[in-house]
Amino acid sequence: MSLVKPGGLLLTCSCSGAVTQADLLASFVAEAAQSARRDVTILSKSSAAADHPVYIGYKEGAYLTALLLRIL
């Protein structure tokens, strides 16, 4: 984040069952932004395509996450 010019974009992705879409990735981004002393806006949040279904009884299956960020 500290290398991105103000107003620049950063795409961060996670493919870990330990980092589900329950906003855990966003909380990591918030911590990183605070550490870098930067303000961040989430422009979009993406997940897996329809060919990667998530079973309702296995929330850890929702592990593919991408956040497009604007770094201020």
Task: For 6-51, write each residue's pLDDT tens digit.
Answer: 999 999 998 877 766 666 788 889 999 999 999 999 999 998 888 8
Q: Which residue has the higher pLDDT, 47 or 69?
A: 69
Q: Which of 56, 49, 48 is nearest to 14 (CA)?
A: 48
In terms of pLDDT, which residue wins out, 44 or 64?
Answer: 44
Per-residue pLDDT at 21? 64
Asked whether the predicted pLDDT for residue 62 surpasses 90, the reply is no
Return the pLDDT at 22.
Answer: 62
Helices (H) and strands (E) counted in the chain, each on its own, are 1, 3
pLDDT value of position 38: 97
